[in-house]
Amino acid sequence: MRTRPLKVALLGCGVVGSEVARIMTTHADDLAARIGAPIELAGVAVRRPSKVREGIPAELITTDATALVKRGDIDVVVEVIGGIEPARTLITTAFEHGASVVSANKALLAQDGAALHAAADENDKDLYYEAAVAGAIPLIRPLRESLAGDKVNRVLGIVNGTTNFILDKMDSTGAGYQEALDEATALGYAEADPTADVEGFDAAAKAAILAGIAFHTRVRLDDVHREGMTEVTAADFASAKEMGCTIKLLAICERSADGASVTARVHPAMIPLSHPLASVRGAYNAVFVESDAAGQLMFYGPGAGGAPTASAVLGDLVAVCRNRLNGATGPGESAYAALTVSPMGDVVTRYHISLDVADKPGVLAQVATVFAEHGVSIDTVRQQGRQDGDGEASLVVVTHRASDASLSGTVEALRKLDTVRGVASIMRVEGE
């Protein structure tokens, strides 16, 4: 084993970074044996230098992250600051000064992955980011390496623990959205400003990263159709139950039937209770991968948290250090397929539509005609007269598979019917 240590610079020492430092110290001997050389924490960049950081020698702490990545003797930079800047500049500077990079930064990878990969390539360095998608769950490496000989057709997953906690609460207790969000906040599962989670931004960043790797195609954050879950109601859960389904916020990356294009989207959807994703409870994450040869695979585990995320960072750190010792680099960006990324209108799926309609004869026929005119075939219809005698009824229509564009056209036309008083909810039905 080489005795000269590989030097690691840690950028950020918060929830994830502090756990990375802890594991590097407590597992130092095992890590050295697995890598073939010891690793040494050479510097830790933070914003607040006076904060007490257990187990980290004070002389390693700096607020000058730029100087740390420019030192020239750093082998690997671990970026766990988060956000776009200064993380982006620090990563590219690290490459230019001879270091490889491990990052957990989904926002940056989803926005600028191509440029960062190009910078890594130009400097013949590694860029690894297993922790950027679903915390501890191995996903990037299985997609990039284990399934490199297969053809992935679909990646369907719960990639945000906060939203899964909220939806699971609504499902199991009948709570409304706000009540479930309040509980998630009180228990520390939701941040004070939950927008990134509940509006699907976090999941969309992960979907862009997963789709890019799965389909060997550049998928930008803007390519991902995104709908949050703040409009999901207790009534939606009641409808889902009647259909033998539950509701999850899903990230769905799919290859089209002809294989020529792909789509990536994040939105709440009904999935059958028999689907493995339906039983993912609390803040857990799970990702279902479908490929030609392997068939169906499911990856499950904690999608966030300091120690689980640090586990993924450390796995990358070991891999990158091994590559350094071998004078090699691991797999970089694979975007050779360059498939077309299609808009949401091209997505084909089933829909559950709940309408408030006038409770009088002929309405059902009128509604059915609108669906037929837009080429959307109806699977089931259920009509319920209301007890309050206001002359309205609820009409629940479940369709066969149709394009999102056809469904949008249908809904637009339905809204124009005098007998349709309102569209109470539209939910896609997935995982069948």
Q: Does 301 bind ligand NAP (CB under 6 A)?
A: no
Side-chain-side CA neighbours of residue 32 (13 Å): 17
What burial letters (b/e) apply to 107-144, b meaning 16+ CB within 10 Å?
bbbbbbbeebbbbbeebebbbbbbbbbbbbbbbbbbbb
305, 330, 332, 345: which one binds ligand NAP (CB under 6 A): 305
- Min dist CB 366 to ligand NAP, Å, is 49
- Of 10, 17, 396, 409, the one binding ligand NAP by CB under 6 A: 17
Q: What string marks each residue from 134 to 163 as x (binds ligand NAP by CB under 6 A) or -?
A: -x----------------------------
Whose CB is nearest to ligand NAP?
14
Active site residue 206: yes
Q: Which of 2, 27, 34, 47 binds ligand NAP (CB under 6 A)?
A: 47
CB of 47 to ligand NAP, least distance (A): 4
What distance in Å separates the CA atoms of residue 332 and residue 125, rounded to the nearest whole number? 9
User: Which of the following is catalytic: 70, 206, 360, 416?
Assistant: 206
Q: Of 104-112, 167-175, 403-411, 412-420, which segment contacts ligand NAP by CB under 6 A?
A: 104-112
Subset of 306-335 contacting ligand NAP (CB under 6 A): 309
| Residue 50 burial by Cβ neighbours in a 10 Å radius (0-12, 13-18, 19+) | exposed
When binding is defined by CB under 6 A, the residue of 65, 240, 280, 407 that contacts ligand NAP is 65
Looking at beta carbons only, is 65 or 396 nearer to ligand NAP? 65
What CA–CA distance (Å, rounded) separates 13 from 41? 12
CA atoms within 13 A on the CB side of 189: 22
Long-range contacts (CB closer than 8 Å, 24 or more residues apart) made by 340-344: 340/260, 340/261, 340/262, 341/211, 341/217, 341/219, 341/220, 341/223, 341/261, 341/262, 341/263, 341/264, 342/256, 342/261, 342/262, 342/263, 343/225, 343/263, 344/225, 344/263, 344/265, 344/404
> CA 226 to CA 300: how far, in whole Å?
23
Stretch that binds ligand NAP, among 42-50, 112-120, 261-269, 385-393 (CB under 6 A): 42-50
Q: Which stretch binds ligand NAP (CB under 6 A): 40-48, 218-226, 334-342, 370-378?
A: 40-48
> Closer to ligand NAP at the Cβ: 132 or 232?
132
List the catalytic residues: 206
Q: Which residues bind ligand NAP (CB under 6 A)?
A: 12-17, 45-48, 51, 65, 80-82, 86, 104-106, 131, 135, 304-305, 309
